[in-house]
Structure 1
Amino acid sequence: MAFSQGAKPLRVYKETTQLLRLGILRKEPPWYQVVASVPPSTILIRTAPVEFDSPAQDGPRVMSKKVKKSKRFFRPRHIQYPEDDLRKTFFADHPWELARPRILVEDGGNDNLNHDWSKLQQPGRALDGESVVQRQMWLMEYKELSTSEAYDVARKEFYRLRMRSDIERRIAAEEARSVGAFFGKTHLQVGLELEERALLAWKVKAQEAVARRQQRIEAMASPGSIDTDVTDEEATTDTAGLANATESRPSSIEPPNAQGA
């Protein structure tokens, strides 16, 4: 069943009724009786509220001729949380933290209730920037520290835990190599190899472009050199061809002695 574009809701119901009456549709659609009992609205836009002028002292209210619509009528209300400024400060100082793998599953927003932020490291939770923010909030609320002081305390604890995890990872890699484990190239090594390969390809293209440009400059400096610059092989070939053509051409002029005879 196909209807024209821009069909109105009531028109869909009327056309369906006509198709059922003509026998084109043998069975009513599941929504047919529902639409018949509760017809859809024909106005699908939101109307602006009516505004009135301030009432006069000795007169009734007068309706305003111009209805003003607010520019933010359909915009949601801006919601600001205290943690937003702390997150902005932390990730501005540590932008590489955003490049670390993260779990995209959203939590319920009650980290301060589900975890004890009297310490930064939480069991079952990865250490990230959000841990620093929640720890800073806890220090500001329970230790009554200022924003900068709480940030310094939480940041130093974060650095200490990061260094400890890096040391543990290096020790684990050394132990694995000592028993015969082999690790491939790191992401930095692979990136450097790809960069060097791209630079070499660009160097070859740049040299070819410089050579072509130098040839154009030389050609423009001496225009006649293109016509006079002929190789010896081509000159020899042209001379030999001219000689052969001269020998094979029949002579139409007889010598004078032959005419007298």
Structure 2
Amino acid sequence: MGKINLTALRVRKTALGQFASGKTSKLPQWVEVIGEIPPAEALIRTRPPQHQLVQQRMKTVAGSSKPQVVFQVQEKRRAPKKASRLFQPVELKYEEDQLRTEFFRDHPWELARPRLLLETTGKDFEHYDWSQIQQPGKRLDGESVVQRQLWLLNNVPDMTKSNAYDIARREFYRLRLREDVERRVAAEEAQAYGAEFGPSFLDIGMKLEDVQYDKWVEWARATAQVQDQRQAALSGAPELAEEKSVTETEADEAESSL
């Protein structure tokens, strides 16, 4: 067992000793405070509290005319931990985490869309009503689907996770389709009034692909010529390699002319 370091508990005693011996000319301002409220001397660490995943559901109860709110507690599997990990903070889990993981696993390209992370007050969520998926002042994204699905699970009686996911996705797809139609109509109207747009992302990608293809053709031709010359040198007939290279050059020129 190592020696316990109690230096932090003796900080007031050390400060008084330095003042009495003349090492310091003035006592720190916290000396009297620590004298009245001394630091804790408990040297035993307690385990962090175990957090449970609580789910809120609306269920129809037999003998009741109205659905009631039911809270379900999902117990965690407590696996034995190593001694070095016994006092680590416990991971916090929320129901939204599971819904978010499922949605972005099915829609990975949603993570590539730009998102606005800046908020004015940090309390924008208080003004959202997730009884509908589209919110004023918030761009439609994957988080909208997650919050809409969670609202359906918490407020619609006897709603299952899969049904809530299907409803939220259907509303999300319909709004995304409408956004695409509005974007195409706006572009067509702008072109009708004389607007000129630059090359599309597809055209830019095709040009970059053509440049790389031309580089690859040059590299392949040079590599093939080197290999032919090496084989001809080993066989003792270098004139065959020269004739073959001339023939390939003429064939390439004929293809380029076509």
TM-score, with structure 2 as normaliser = 0.57
The corresponding residue for 1:120 is: 133
Does the C-alpha gap of structure 1 residues 74 and 206 become closer, same or farther in structure 2, counting only changes over 3 Å? farther
The corresponding residue for 1:198 is: 212
- Equivalent AA in structure 2 for residue 206 of structure 1: A
The corresponding residue for 1:154 is: 168
Higher alpha-carbon Rg: 1
Aligned length: 165
What is the distance in 2 between the residues matched to 1:110 and 1:155?
A: 23
- Equivalent AA in structure 1 for residue 227 of structure 2: R
The corresponding residue for 1:104 is: 117
What is the distance in 2 between the residues matched to 1:214 and 1:132?
A: 61
Classify the secondary structure of the residue corresponding to 1:79.
Answer: coil
Does the C-alpha gap of structure 1 residues 109 and 208 become closer, same or farther in structure 2, counting only changes over 3 Å? farther
Does the C-alpha gap of structure 1 residues 216 and 122 become closer, same or farther in structure 2, counting only changes over 3 Å? same
Greater RCO structure (CA 8 Å; 6+ sep): 2
- Equivalent AA in structure 2 for residue 216 of structure 1: R
| Deviation readout 1:124-166 (Å, 9 max, x if unpaired) | 1000000000000000010131110000000000000001111
The corresponding residue for 1:132 is: 145
- Equivalent AA in structure 2 for residue 210 of structure 1: A
- Equivalent AA in structure 2 for residue 81 of structure 1: Y
- Work out whether 1:72 is the aligned partner of 2:99: no
Stretches of structure 2 that go unaligned for 5 or more consecutive residues are 1-23, 30-42, 46-81, 239-258
Decide which of 188, 201, 212 is 2:226's aligned counterpart: 212
Does the C-alpha gap of structure 1 residues 176 and 221 become closer, same or farther in structure 2, counting only changes over 3 Å? same
> How many angstroms does 1:188 deviate by?
2.4
What is the distance in 2 between the residues matched to 1:213 and 1:74?
A: 65
Decide which of 170, 193, 212 is 1:179's aligned counterpart: 193
Classify the secondary structure of the residue corresponding to 2:83.
Answer: coil
TM-score, with structure 1 as normaliser = 0.57
What is the distance in 2 between the residues matched to 1:185 and 1:74?
A: 58
What is the distance in 1 between the residues matched to 2:175 and 2:110?
A: 14
> How many angstroms does 1:72 deviate by?
2.0
> How many angstroms does 1:74 deviate by?
7.2
> How many angstroms does 1:33 deviate by?
8.4
As a proportion of its length, which structure holds more strand? 2
